[in-house]
Amino acid sequence: MTLRPALAAEADALAALEAGATAHGWRARQYRDSFAAGHELIVLDVDGEAAGVAVWMLVIDEAELLNIVVAAPQQGRGHGRRLLDATVAGARAAGARRLLLEVRESNAPARALYLSAGFVETGLRKHYYPAENGREHAVLMELAL
């Protein structure tokens, strides 16, 4: 298992990984846009294949986790924690004083992961995400670095 920078040529493969893990995940275009914007994309490889990806960006002294996903067959093995830890380390090394994120209110496993890593809930964006039956709230979270 290794962590490495993602390659722009992997946008389609990362979108396919995400499509298998969540109904409302990023598409290839969003990955391409992140590469073009200079965001940090970290891939977790397991047995030579991408098993997850984290995308984050730095704005002055603030980092934001834009996306994190682990392939469905690889979930529950600590890979989300590894990607999150790599993101936190990268943000600290880049000089960020805090790391922000938003997560679907219904995503209990992700919220538990973030809380266990020291994030605190700081707010709510009502009706933010598309959902099967309308819209879903986004929980805003922050980690002091």
**Domains in the chain: ranges and CATH:** 2-144 (3.40.630.30)
Q: What is the pLDDT of residue 88?
A: 98
Asked about 102 being catalytic, the answer comes back as yes
Show the beta-strand stretches assigned E in 35-88.
40-46, 49-59, 62-70
Alpha carbon distance, N-terminus to C-terminus of the chain:
26
Asked about 114 being catalytic, the answer comes back as yes
Confidence of residue 2 (pLDDT cuts 50, 70, 90): very high
CA angle 100, 145, 116 (to 5 degrees): 70
**With contact defined as beta carbons under 8 Å apart, do 78 and 43 qualify?**
no
Check the annotation: does 67 bind a ligand: no
Q: For residue range 96-136, what is the model confidence (pLDDT) as tens digits? A: 999 999 999 999 999 999 999 999 999 999 988 878 788 99
Catalytic residue among 18, 64, 102, 142: 102
Q: What is the pLDDT of residue 23?
A: 82
